A and B are shown apart, each in its own frame.
Chain A
């Protein structure tokens, strides 16, 4: 009997506490700074082009193979406005398949991809989560604005995946 009464005391004491739940659609739980939402592509405001060069490193390292990228010659480079010789032509992430692991962010050499805070993405058809380049860049820009994202200072010592990935490709073939 005593044990039950003790338990009832606990529930009674809780009457006077503030509720801890969030009424979800009206009220959102605040997101932590490091939160990893869907990966998005960043926009270089200085040159008005994406950071991504379409080098496909992230595509190769993605554990779920949910992305694809195509590279093209950068027209802005020919005009001398940009230092990027190549630029992304098309890019697609199947956000329905992405597992939010953050590996693509780690391997990218150009700071072109980031985990945004975007995490609500319900669609009507199961294929609607394939997200193309303009949409990814748009999501990226809103993330940039929201978080004040800055590219990392140039030439940080990262393990260079570039040379090794050649090997990886070789081994795959």
Chain B
């Protein structure tokens, strides 16, 4: 249990936003006020945490608001924090050239949240991949078939509690 001990005392990386990030940090609370977001920051980006069922409405808002216009879904991924799964959206705007992180927590037992494929077509494979590896169900996704794994694969190999099969060398 040396590792756990270390995790607690590990220092926090300092937040270091650029000008666009700072401007966003001031702008976002006003625009997203109705969703009661938690506005924070990762090392280099503004991060917004919202409730999982609010994700599509928040996404629509940040995509359509002319001050934000996040029209590019850069990356969608799931991080397994053991007590909860976190779905992380990295959004980018090709006009304003700024970027933000949107996060939503879901429970590991029954992870599900609404899909954003209707807003960004590019979310399609990301969501399928997340479904494969973490078992997160995206409601309203047109086709949730396995993408990277084969049909009938047992378990969610992306999760931290997944037991890797024993590897034997000849």
Q: Which residues of chain A have C-beta atoms less than 8 A from B10's C-beta?
A: none
Task: Name the CB-closest residue of A to B167.
Answer: A65
Is B13 an interface position by the 8 A CB rule? no
Q: Which residues of chain B have C-beta atoms less than 8 A from A126's C-beta?
A: 170
Binary interface profile of A, 99-136, with partner B (CB < 8 Å = 1, else 0)? 00000000000000000000000000011000000000
Is A27 an interface position by the 8 A CB rule? no
Q: Which residues of chain A have C-beta atoms less than 8 A from B26's C-beta?
A: none
Is A9 an interface position by the 8 A CB rule? no
Count of chain B residues with a beta carbon within 8 Å of a chain A beta carbon: 5
Is A2 an interface position by the 8 A CB rule? no
Task: Name the CB-closest residue of B to A170.
Answer: B2
Interface residues of A toward B: which range? under 10
Please state if A171 and B3 are interface contacts (CB–CB under 8 Å): yes
Nearest chain A CB to B166 CB, angstrom units = 14
Nearest chain A CB to B92 CB, angstrom units = 33
Q: Which residues of chain B have C-beta atoms less than 8 A from A173's C-beta?
A: 2
A94 to B6, CA, bound (A): 34
Nearest chain B CB to A147 CB, angstrom units = 32
> Restricting to A139-173, which residues have a CB under 8 Å from any CB of B?
170-171, 173
Of the candidates B2, B3, B6, B170, the one whose C-beta lies within 8 Å of that of A127 is B170
Please state if B2 and A171 are interface contacts (CB–CB under 8 Å): yes
Task: Name the CB-closest residue of B to A66.
Answer: B169
Q: Which residues of chain A have C-beta atoms less than 8 A from B170's C-beta?
A: 126-127
Q: Which residues of chain B have C-beta atoms less than 8 A from A97's C-beta?
A: 169
A44 to B169, CA, bound (A): 33
A127 to B169, CA, bound (A): 10
A94 to B170, CA, bound (A): 11
A173 to B1, CA, bound (A): 8
A59 to B146, CA, bound (A): 37
Nearest chain A CB to B10 CB, angstrom units = 13
Q: Which residues of chain A have C-beta atoms less than 8 A from B3's C-beta?
A: 171
Q: Which residues of A pack against B, CB within 8 Å? A: 94, 97, 126-127, 170-171, 173
7 pairs, A vs B, C-beta closer than 8 Å: A94-B169, A97-B169, A126-B170, A127-B170, A171-B2, A171-B6, A173-B2
